[in-house]
Chains A and B, each alone.
Chain A
Amino acid sequence: MTATETIEHTPTSSANTDHREDFLGLPLPTMGSRAVAAGLELFFFILVALGVYLVEYFLEGNITGFGLSNWWIAFALMALWNGWTYASAQTPQGTLTSHFIADSTGAPAAALTIMVRQLIRFGLLYGIAILVRGVDVAVLVLVGLLAGACMFVAPKRRAPWDILAGTTVVTGFPSGAQLELKPLTSIADLQLDTKRGRQDGRARRLLFVAGLFSVLASALIVWSIFREAAKFVLDDEFSLDILTGIGWFPRRGIFDLWTLFVGTLWITGIAMLVAGPVGLGVAFYLSEYASPRVRRWLKPMVEILASIPSVVIGLFAISFISPSILRNIFGDIGIFSILAAGIGVGVLTVPIIASISEDAMRAVPNELREASYGLGGRRVTTALRVVFPAALSGIAAAFIVGVSRAIGETMVVFIAAGGSGGAIYEADPREPGQAITAAMASLGAGTDSVAGSGLAFQSLYFLGALLFILTLVLNVISDGVVRRFRQVY
């Protein structure tokens, strides 16, 4: 019992309660001084803003309405800036200024500082607002990037805007950001019923909301697609002659899905014929044959192929594959053909299949290879009869993902397959045709004109729904395959 009493009356805790000075050696702020400090900030903010408004009024004769004038931009930014500094200059007892206001000798200097600070800030923002309007957005972005790079390289990150804020320069009165705040640590701080605890709760809630965003995005996709797709299916003009094999002419009300299915099937098939062997070969070589040094050079090269945008591959299909390769094989083939588009999509699919298969092969434990070598197996035997079966589910997943990507690939088909707006049914891949994605792109390319023409706009969403379901099923299958593959090791 005596022990608890001693703890309760330790000298440090009594010193803490009798503390009359803060860490700056000033008297502790009271409710009054805190209210005065906040009031002064607000008062000078409004005063300066009003003053600038009046000056603008008398110089210009009139203010250009209540639209997005320079003054409003400056005012809004200013409110944000003040809010931020007010929050960041908090000490455990109140704002930094309230510490100075509490001291009778410091009060006038603090008031003056607040006034000068508000004046300089508003002037600065007003100037920025004038400069920024009419300036190219891209220039702004580049300036921002440059400033960001400077901050990144500069050793003292806070220096620029603290000097701009003008507090130190003008009055020698520090702003919150410059002062290394060392809050008084007490038992109450460690029990999280404090600012830190509340901050922790806020951050957790915010992160949870960010996590929910993926659910929101999925829901939005489903909602936006199926809402319009349902209109398409439920419309009176919709009939089941969508599989007649005439052609795809949405603007004339002919929605023959068969044309698109055949196009997509051909393109996916051709793409997998190109990408399957090449991608698998690259994966085998990188995983089983290449020395670490060779691998270090080859893998980035494959990744370069993955980083080439699909529009460039589409262009490649019509400027190289068709004239230089297909013409030499098939003779008089047109520039635009399903075959060229399929090969182009194949080029895009190679790195996907290669990298996923290679990951699967490298996940095979080395003990299996060593056991094979130990039994006298050759490299080819080890690769084909030990590594390949062990990695089979991963490789299968790679192929499924590859198919899913090939089905969803848009720009190559849009550029190289030759169907613009509509397409006649064509079963020969050497002729121009249309796939689901490219048909959507053609519809979307003229959304303004689509809106007026019957069901064409809704058909865009109908195709989107088909594509979404198709790729979703494929991805779920590949996910299942991968999960089984993970259980093996």
Chain B
Amino acid sequence: MAAITTPSEIRAGLEKRRGTNTGGQIFRTLLLVALVLAIAMIGAVLWSVGVDSWSLLIERPWSFLSNPSNSSAELAGVAQGIRGSVTLAAIVAATFPVGVGAAIYLEELADDNFLTRLIQVTVRNLAGVPSIVYGLLGLAVFVQQLRGLTGGPSVISAGLTLGVLVFPVVVITTSEAIRAVPQSLRDAAYGLGATQWEVIRHQVLPAAMPGVLTGVVLSIARSLGEAAPLLVVGAAPFYSTGVKNTLEQLTGAFTALPMNVAVFARLPADTWAAHAAAASVVLLVVIFVINLAAIILRNRISKKLGR
């Protein structure tokens, strides 16, 4: 057993044993390559979409945004898609209370029994179901069974389908936000004689609000990018825009921005490639703006609550 003498000897011995760090350098380089690849993917997507759409967006930006879909490439626009996406977002937003309520139930009220575990398991599994399967649900339930209420393949059917699609996401994000609320807040309110509902309504929900709203807004952004369920529910690639009243618009033919992209992308590329790219740009801008709104909302509410 060699006796260890001075620090400098230890250092020298260690360096001798370790040798040069080639393996570490190679590993680090590989990781950097992976990182650069991932960032290059983002860059390439944004760049290719931007370049392809440039000519169209320079040539006629306003008529592209305000024209309905058209079989002639010079006239076609995404106005119907924008209108459909906005309406879809509103309907999806209207379904959020169910998800938030389910999360409150799971986090605040539920006892640990069979039913609670069933609810938890179903929420987790719903989160993993592919979006196109939700389209089948929408087709069978909202389009066919509830045709009288939704008017068949309409924006209401599609919006409710997307509402079911984001339900598990809303439940999971809301649950996380509620779990982060300190128990002392609840105890203090109970100590003052509040009922459980009053504790939830006046203490837990306000404290969890930044997290809840962020999750909710992000799931709107997610639902706006979904095209597969809309395809199955029956979004129309082209439809004529007549003068319609509110009810007819809600129960009639519809389309949405991702549908516009998909339809343009499957048309012959030499005339329609720019349209697909330009519709993608509009969709991306909408989604980024919503994401930005989520961040601003979160900061603003956190400030308002003094946290």
Contact = CB atoms under 8 A, between A and B. Distances in A.
Contact of B102 (A211, A223, A307): A211
B256 to A, nearest CB: 10
B37 A311 contact: no
Contacts, number: 315
Interface string A188-231: 00101000110110011011111111110110110111011000
B101 A207 contact: yes
Query: Binding site of B, secondary structure by majority: helix, strand, loop or mixed?
Result: helix
A289 interface: yes
A170 interface: no
B130 A408 contact: yes
Given A225-B133, A315-B276, A471-B130, A134 B228 contact: no
B171 A380 contact: no
Contact of A309 (B86, B137, B198, B258): B258
A141 B84 CA distance: 11
B14 interface: yes
A218 B132 CA distance: 15
A411 B227 contact: yes
B296 to A, nearest CB: 11
Contact of A196 (B135, B164, B195, B283): B195
B137 A380 contact: no
Nearest to B286: A309
B139 interface: yes
Classify chain A's interface size: 35 or more
A183 B30 CA distance: 69
A16 B258 CA distance: 65
Given A220-B137, A224-B136, A444-B139, A212 B246 contact: no
A138 B132 contact: no
Given A140-B246, A204-B109, A475 B133 contact: no
Contacts of A440: 132, 135-136, 232
A308 interface: yes
B133 A134 contact: no
B216 interface: no
A21 to B, nearest CB: 26
B298 to A, nearest CB: 13
Interface stretch (A54-62, A86-94, A109-117, A296-304): A296-304
Q: Of B83, B90, B246, B284, which is in contact with the most chain A CB atoms at under 10 Å from its CB?
A: B246
Interface of A: 68, 132-138, 140-142, 144, 190, 192, 196-197, 199-200, 203-204, 206-215, 217-218, 220-221, 223-225, 227-228, 277-282, 284-285, 289, 298, 301-302, 304-305, 307-316, 318-320, 324, 335, 347, 350, 354, 376, 378-381, 383-384, 401, 404-405, 407-411, 414-415, 420, 437, 440-441, 444-445, 447-448, 460-461, 464, 467-468, 471-472, 474-476, 479
Interface of B: 14, 17-18, 21, 23-24, 27-28, 30-35, 37-39, 41-42, 44-45, 48-49, 52, 82-83, 86-87, 89-90, 97-102, 104-106, 108-110, 116, 118-119, 122-126, 128-137, 139-141, 153, 155, 164, 167-168, 171, 193, 195-198, 200-201, 221-222, 224-228, 231-234, 237, 243, 245-247, 249-250, 258, 261-262, 265-266, 269, 273, 276-277, 280, 283-284, 287-288, 291
